[in-house]
Structure 1
Amino acid sequence: MVGHSVVAFLALIAAVAAVPAEFDPIISRLDPEGLRYGYIRDDEGTPHLVDSWIKASDLRNMARYNPDTDNEYHLYTRSNPLISQPIVQGNSALLSASNFNPARRTVILIHGFLGNILSGFNTVLVPAFLMAGDFNIIVVDWGKGAHFGFNGISSGRSVGRFITWLNQASGASVNNYHILGYSVGAHQAGIVGRSLNGQASYITAMDPADRWIASQALRPSDSQYTEVIHTNIGNIGVEAPCGHVDFYPNGGIGMPGCSTALCDHYRSYFYVGEAMATGGFTGIQCATLADAKSGSCNLPGRLPMGGVNPKTGASGIYYVPTNGSPPFSQG
């Protein structure tokens, strides 16, 4: 069946390539229940109008991106905190010569729409993790495909294949992985976890993008403990809970010290970075999402937001107050 599907897809691509450029028919409505057009901001904050309907020209563009060869994987450890070491799938000699240690916990970082290795998400989280512990930190640069957000689906599946090879080649365990994604990359983190059959121990999703395909959205079962941090709900970020635990700092929008939606969106990874390096964020359990949004949570449960270790078995919705400038944590 897989072979037939591949042949059918290649035939479709070939047919599309033969279509005159001025004729650009609709192939699929990826989000038939939602609006066709909407804006997604790249990792630098620039808004881009995105069409959620797939056209013939989109298939041509998507076909040019091959995540198995175009994605890059950059390893950082305490032995090389500033200059990454490349890891190439299938190249066991290069892996053996690197500082990758299968006995360590492995962290996977996945940037957002139109991002790359230099995105603020990476420049904040890499040093934060190195401060917190001796990890294998692998930055996924899927920038060659990130110009088309839905390439995150094929990229996520490819990252899953990369991790499977890495474990086979090194002896590392999938249960010792922490996968983190930001914005569109948050949903990609879920796809990575899904491709690993939900065996990764920890996913941290930072303000998952609201403009995404419902069937490919982040879900709790993507890892053993899936944690979501919402900082710009109803605008750039999705509002509804989508993890085992969903944190809504300051009600999920209007972060102290911010005056723009983009600032709110960024705060998600700044909070995660601070939590990794110094801890301190404490969530107050809420009875409902409405309570979290209004900040009127009074259940007795308390739970740390973010951090190195998964809170496996925890669930629910939590409100987290923060400061307007670093340190953001109020303890």
Structure 2
Amino acid sequence: MVGRIVLLVAFVASVSALPADPVISKLNPEGLRYDYIRDNEGVPHLVDSWIKVSDLVREPRYNPDTDNEYHLFTRSNPLLSQPLVENNADVLRASNFDPSKKTAVLIHGFLGDVVSGFNTVLVPAYLLAGDVNVIMVDWGKGAHWGLNGISSGRSVGRVLRWIANTSGANLADFHILGYSVGAHQAGIAGRTLFGQVGYITAMDPADRWLTSQLFRADDAIYTEVIHTNAGNMGVTQPLGDVDFYPNGGSGMPGCLTALCDHYRSYFYMGESLRTGGFIGRQCATYNDALNGTCDLEGTLEMGGATPKTGQKGIYHLITNGSPPFARG
């Protein structure tokens, strides 16, 4: 009996020694655990970059397969969207979706939604650029926790596969555009489609993210990254086939805050769709891009609706502090 009591006491002591909410993983193991991230209205939110058991308990409440919404815009309905519902072929056929045209897919960032600045800038910009299908992904019900972007990205990939298979559209004609956390989600969606998507643009991919789930160069046939707040809200290192570092990747002209820098990635992309003109100079290394000391002969235009398939490298350019941002 005494032996049993001793064992029970030892067991209780070992359980009591465990933290109440064990940490499973660390998004930013060498940086600060807690940091402020601003939402689309600029309101700061204190975010814990360490993943805990309680986070995994909350995660199942968000199901991207049922909670995500997909809004179709075309030149026939540029202001009022048409909802697309996975596995409802009748809704897809009754919509303005045209499988013979290119399709742009927009994925917002942390705490974003359908009226995020990212969407309000890029939907009209893409429709002005060409007669295309624009699908806005609203994963706002899960965007309170950035890591929901992993499950959402996989779900987006499955929905895009269903749209392509049902309509006869070619995935090579799809362009996925993601911002911040949504940039990594765009990569995950492309990865789910085995890199068959023609073009992915990652706009200032979020720095606080799992290394194993970072945006990758092979997530699409051609991948491009625009860095505007490198080393703060956005990652510093190159991630795509081609990486652009406007103004050295941070400190955008006309901006006084990191959030403004972060936003500029999609403002530059929107202008590139409408009028183009962002010409980058090739760099030997990304440190040269950060320092603006690029002197290689190659040049390449940043952004736009047409993928630069086959191109590789790192590029630097200078922008204006107000629209038009491109210097030509």
Same fold (TM over 0.5): yes
Confirm or deny that 1:253 pairs with 2:250: yes
2:21 matched residue in structure 1: 25
SS at match of 2:314: strand
- Is 1:219 paired with 2:216? yes
2 CA distance for matches of 1:321 and 1:269? 16
Q: TM-score scaled by structure 2? A: 0.92
* Deviation of 1:173 (Å): 1.2
Aligned AA (2:230): I
Deviation, 1:296, is 1.5
User: Which of 229, 233, 238 is 1:236 aligned to?
Assistant: 233
Partner letter of residue 203 of structure 2? M
Percent identity between the two aligned chains: 67
Q: Give the aligned partner of residue 71 of structure 2.
A: 74
For 1:151 and 1:157, the matched residues in 2 are separated by: 10
Contact kept, 8 Å, 1:24 with 1:57, in 2: the verdict is no
Contact 1:31 1:53 in 2 (8 A): yes
What is the Cα-based RMSD across aligned positions, in Å? 1.2
Instruction: String of CA shifts for 1:87-132, please: whole Å, max 9, x gaps.
Output: 0001111111100000111110000000001000000000000000
Q: 1:302 aligns with which of 277, 299, 302?
A: 299
How far 1:61 sits from its partner (Å)?
1.6
Please say if 1:64 is aligned against 2:79: no
The residue correspondences of 1:137-216 to structure 2 (distance < 5 A) are 137-216=134-213
Structure 1 distance, partners of 2:38, 2:271, is 24
Q: Give the drift of 1:262.
A: 0.8
Shift of residue 33 of structure 1? 3.5
Q: Are the counterparts in 1 of residues 178 and 201 from structure 2 also a CA contact under 8 Å? A: yes
Shift of 1:43: 2.1
SS in structure 2 at match of 1:85: strand
Return the alpha-carbon distance in structure 1 between the equivalents of residues 28 and 97 of structure 2: 44
Q: Quick one: distance in 2 between partners of 1:154 and 1:173? A: 24
Alignment gaps of 5+ in structure 1: 1-22
Structure index of larger Rg: 2
Aligned residues: 309
Q: Which runs of 5+ in 2 are unaligned?
A: 1-18
Q: Secondary structure at the match of 2:86?
A: coil
**How big is each residue's C-alpha offset from its partner over 1:4-34, in whole Å with a ceiling of 9 and x where there is no partner?**
xxxxxxxxxxxxxxxxxxx842251143744
Deviations 1:202-231 (A, max 9, x none): 010000111110000101010111100000
User: Does residue 328 of the first structure (1) align with residue 314 of the second (2)?
Assistant: no
Deviation of 1:244 (Å): 0.6
Paired with 1:63 and 1:27, the residues of 2 have a C-alpha distance of 18
Amino acid at match of 2:97: F
SS in 2 for 1:204: strand
Aligned mates of 2:26, 2:64 — CA distance in 1: 20
Q: If the length of structure 1 is used for normalisation, what is the TM-score? A: 0.91
SS at 2:270's partner residue?
helix
